[in-house]
Amino acid sequence: MDLNTYWETTPKKFEKFVNVYIKKEEERAREMDLNNFNLGKYMAFAVNDPKKYPKKPFLWEEKEESRIMTGEEMDKMMRRNNLILGGTVKWQTQ
């Protein structure tokens, strides 16, 4: 918040800024707590049983390699999504 906005803001509106700041700080504290917890796990493995130390981080997610879809795969995907969203499909026989 810049200085002009600070002096022009009413106390009621300023309270909203304070509440948002408090929520952001709480979220940041939760994130730090999770990081510290995971660090403790790593340290416990390293000190107590180094052979079982994880090769990847606990929260590691394998990313699927992107690939190009064929026309048939795209057609199937569009039909499936259409049905999920409540649409109808006119089936064509080839």
Residues in Cβ contact with 54 at an 8 Å cutoff, skipping those fewer than 6 apart: 42, 45
Name the token pair of 23: 């929520």
Condensed to tens digits (0 to 9), the pLDDT of residues 34-91 reads 999 989 989 998 999 888 888 888 777 776 677 788 888 888 888 888 888 888 777 6
pLDDT at 92: 63
Q: Domain spans of the chain?
A: 3-59
Read off the pTM: 0.51
